[in-house]
Amino acid sequence: MTVADLHRAYRDELLAHGLLISMGVDGLYGRSGTFEAVVEGINRAVGAVGDADRPEVMRFPPGIGKWQLEQSGYLKSSPHLVGTVHSFTGSDSDHRAMLDTLAKGEDWTANQRTTEVALAPAACYGVYPAIGARGRLGAEGALVDCYTYCFRHEPSVDPARMQMFRQREHVRLGSEDQALAFREKWKARGQAIVSSFALPFEIDIANDPFFGRTGRLLAASQREESLKFELLVPIHATEHPTACVSFNYHRDLFGQAWKIETADGATAHTACVGFGVERITLALFKHHGLAVGRWPQKVRDVLGL
């Protein structure tokens, strides 16, 4: 079987068992109560480790301000993944014309215009402007636990590559040393958490899928400087493992974008750890079976199932 065949077969199996619910678009699914129970178990496991640090908790909607997306620099690297919210802006006659077009089965979106809302590409994108608006950081910097639905426009039959998915992140803002120490601490923690789920994994240096010449330069720099590590779990095939957790050091990229300063006036550095809770859930179902009641007891205990 090809990799695409493996993706499709696992997706169809999940749909047939009612764990995912088809919404008629590749990469867009509803989730069953059983699926959500596993997701919440993963969140509890992450919280059991990270809550001891007493992070500030922020929970965001899946939308951010379009201006926030622009200022973040994401459009320079990944424009093909961006999603924006559009709304009808026409007159009554435009509305009637739209309904006629709809009745004919034709494209009805001609009078849809971009609103001020964009879809969040990562959970941490709401954190930086919120912290930046507060002024200079204290000596201890800042630590945030955030969680939201994210969107990336990459439709696929691979159930692990959803267009709308959730990220649980912890974000560190402060000096270079504080950011790097945070990433190293969570590299160890992330491995321990996934090990407690009895899942096989490996850690590798990685880069995000950038777009165009600027993106290629950024991706090369990211890999050469070991800015991003990923925890990879084989969901479909061992030769094609899936990134389920990422450990990222952004240098002062977001500090510059949002004018975040450390206590001594330097531009803040940031780092984050991101858990792809749907991907980890899919890995659990793949490795332990589709019936949660038959999973290893030690895994169910960790997840509270």
Per-residue model confidence (pLDDT) at position 76: 83
Contact by Cβ (8 Å): 299, 198: yes
| Assigned domain for 40 exists | yes
Q: What count of residues does the chain have? A: 305
Q: Is residue 209 scored above 80 in pLDDT?
A: no
Model confidence over 183-195: pLDDT tens digits? 999 999 999 999 9
| Assigned domain for 84 exists | no
The whole-angstrom separation of Cα 250 and Cα 271 is 6
What percentage of the chain's residues is helix, strand, coil (to nearest 5)? 45, 25, 30
| Average pLDDT of span 221-242 | 80
CATH number of the domain residue 207 falls in: 3.30.930.10
Contact by Cβ (8 Å): 56, 171: no
| Assigned domain for 167 exists | yes
| Assigned domain for 36 exists | yes
| Assigned domain for 105 exists | no
Per-residue model confidence (pLDDT) at position 214: 45
Q: How many domains are contained in the chain?
A: 1
- Give this prediction's pTM: 0.92
Provide the domain limits for residue 60.
3-64+121-303
| Assigned domain for 203 exists | yes
Which is more confident, 143 or 75? 143
Angle between helices 176-196 and 33-50 (to 10 degrees): 130
